[in-house]
Amino acid sequence: MSRRTERLNHLLRQEITELLQREAKDPRLSVMVSVTRVSVSADLHYAKVFVSVMGTEEEKKGLVVGLHAASGFLRRELAGRLTLRHTPELVFVYDDTMERAGKVIELIDQVRTSESGVQETGER
């Protein structure tokens, strides 16, 4: 990945996060949305925006639908804020990395608890 694409990924992530927090009026986007990362294609025409939300399954489904509905608005706002020859088309992808990380931590805690219980019974 070139340095230019890395800078653009970072800039898009910042701007989209700010737009979602301050400008989005859609009630489906009122949940706490986190833009985890942005990945721009090599030709800079498309940007995958990975988003995460802590909430119910209904809120998660509504989030993706709401983001797809707001993609035109977000793209237009980005075009006004950024000086790019071509503003990339936004494709939103739900990112469940945080949830999976939480599950892994829970499993590690369970193993630690069971190991400490086995050691305590073995020592007596």
**Cα–Cα distance list, 57 to 43, 61, 94 (Å):** 34, 6, 12
34 has pLDDT over 70: yes
More confident residue, 123 or 103: 103
For residue 124 the two structure tokens come to 């007596």
Please say whether the beta carbons of 51 and 93 come within 8 A: yes
Please say whether the beta carbons of 62 and 104 come within 8 A: no
The CATH fold assigned to 3-96 is GMP Synthetase; Chain A, domain 3 (3.30.300)
Write the pLDDT tens digit of every residue in 39-57: 999 898 999 999 988 777 8
Write the pLDDT tens digit of every residue in 70-122: 899 999 999 999 888 889 999 999 888 877 888 899 999 888 888 877 766 66
How far, in Å, CA of 71 to CA of 29, rounded? 12
Which pLDDT score, from 0 to 100, does residue 116 have? 77
Residue 102 DSSP SS3: helix
